[in-house]
Amino acid sequence: MSNSSRLDLLDALRGCAIVAIMLLHNVEHFNLMVPVPGTPNWLAMADHFVLAAGYLLFGGKAYAVFALMFGVTFYLQFRSRALQGEDFRARFAWRLLLLFGFGMVNTLFYDGDILSLYAVLGFTLIPVAGLGNRALLAIAIVLSLQLWQWGVLAVALTEPPHALGAPAADAYFIRSAEYLANGTVLQVWWGNLTNGKMATIVWSWEAGRLLQIPALFMVGMVLARQERFHVSEANRQFWRRAFVWGLLALIPLAALKASLPAWIANEAVRRPLGSIVQSWAQLAALPVLLSCLILAYHAGFAGRLFAWLSPMGRMSLTSYMSQSLVGTFLYYGFGLALYRTAGPALSLLIGVVMIGAQIVFSIWWLRTHRQGPLEALWHRATWIGSEKHARRLAT
């Protein structure tokens, strides 16, 4: 596969992740999930189906693809600079600080922002950039074990059975629902920067994502080093095996997660064990999803679809932030307040329209630009003060 084809595949994968994230965010009203009063039974059934299908297909999977691609991109940038005799790590640290700034702007509108989270956790890549693949995979495995939850589980097993209070993140989400539904735009911004950001951090910790995300970064690095995104018979065999092993792991893990309430009455034991199993099930689903997309790309299936998604993936930062700006205006109280009237089924259709608009905009923009608007800003700010930047200014 040529370098441009490989990059097209990576952009298409990012585009798929953006589409999945956008659909799920719309179904969830961008974290403003409240029942729509007066919904007829047939529509309520459709809403239930859409919500269940959304979590089944996209929940915990789209973000995982995004995280994997983050690690891939880091390696490609690191290797590119290394071939020129440069160490990219200091520049990458500055790039992460810039990403954190983008993330905090995005947080003003959407409290579930992942950019700022990736920016902070991305610093874990700096000390491990020079490690071998086995060391990276070993660290990723340890992080994925969710040892903290195992510690919580061990303590619970030594205590008498008892009920637990609501997860700590719930209190933050309850508070956020009030200002998202009824607050002014300034109240939403302040609430998201304070209460909303804490909600995301606490929820991410309870769900195991603060450990899982760096693990996915490192797995992405390894896959990029092994050139698993090139077309070859060896790679086709690799992704076929990944699909089989992922499916063999996913089926029992999903069954175990569904059976835990019936098997374990003690909530103090069931909750941490459920968090562990859920985290592992999401990891098992990743190779299943990823291998399907990559094998379809290699075989030429859905070529037009990938051609549409690739520009949006190439502009993933712009796409991600613009959906927050538009989506929150559509659903929150300071905008059109569609949370009051649009259930998950209708919101899914709105999400499809938003995706179509982003695809059209991305294709149009990239006809005359090499990067998306925010990508170009990020790139230029990344290299400010460098000889490369000085040469650009001179020309």
Could you read off the pLDDT tens digit of each residue along the chain, which spans 395 residues? 455 566 788 999 999 999 999 999 999 999 999 889 888 999 999 999 999 998 888 888 888 999 999 999 999 999 999 999 899 999 999 999 999 999 999 999 999 999 999 999 999 999 999 999 999 999 999 999 999 999 999 999 999 888 888 999 999 999 999 999 999 999 999 999 999 999 999 999 999 999 999 999 999 999 999 999 988 889 999 999 999 999 999 999 999 999 999 999 999 999 999 999 999 999 999 999 999 999 988 887 777 788 889 999 999 999 999 999 999 999 999 999 999 999 999 999 999 999 999 999 999 999 999 999 999 999 999 999 876 554 554 34
For 339, which DSSP code?
A: G
Is residue 207 within 8 A of residue 279, CB to CB? The reply is yes
How far apart are alpha carbons 196 and 206 in whole angstroms? 15
Overall domain count for the chain: 1
Structure tokens at 328: 């929150």
How far apart are alpha carbons 136 and 213 in whole angstroms? 13
Q: How many CB atoms lie within 10 A of CB 264?
A: 15
Interacting residues of 208 by C-beta distance below 8 A, sequence separation 6+:
146, 149, 275, 276, 278, 279
Interacting residues of 326 by C-beta distance below 8 A, sequence separation 6+:
354
Q: Would you call 376 helix, strand, or coil by DSSP?
A: helix
Predicted confidence at residue 3, as pLDDT, reads 57
Structure tokens at 324: 């927050």
Taking Cα atoms as reference points, which of 138, 2, 134, 17 lies closest to residue 68?
17
Which residue's entry shows tokens 């930047």?
389
**pTM over cut 0.85:** yes
Taking Cα atoms as reference points, which of 60, 68, 16 lies closest to residue 214?
68
DSSP-H helix ranges across the chain: 3-27, 41-58, 62-83, 89-109, 115-121, 125-128, 133-144, 147-157, 168-182, 185-191, 197-206, 209-225, 233-263, 267-299, 303-314, 316-331, 344-366, 373-382, 387-394
Domain containing 64: what range? Answer: 3-11+34-299
218 domain-assigned: yes
Task: Please name the amino acid found at residue 336.
Answer: L
78 domain-assigned: yes
Predicted confidence at residue 298, as pLDDT, reads 81
Q: How many CB atoms lie within 10 A of CB 247?
A: 14
310 domain-assigned: no
The size of the chain, in residues, is 395
Taking Cα atoms as reference points, which of 23, 103, 57, 109 lies closest to residue 309?
23
390 domain-assigned: no
Is residue 281 within 8 A of residue 253, CB to CB? The reply is yes
394 domain-assigned: no
Q: Is the dihedral of CA 275, 209, 73, 320 positive or negative?
A: positive
307 domain-assigned: no
Predicted confidence at residue 5, as pLDDT, reads 62
256 domain-assigned: yes
Task: Please name the amino acid found at residue 310.
Answer: S
Compute CA distances 189 → 194, 196, 318, 320, 339, whole Å.
Answer: 9, 9, 20, 18, 18
356 domain-assigned: no
For 33, which DSSP code?
A: -
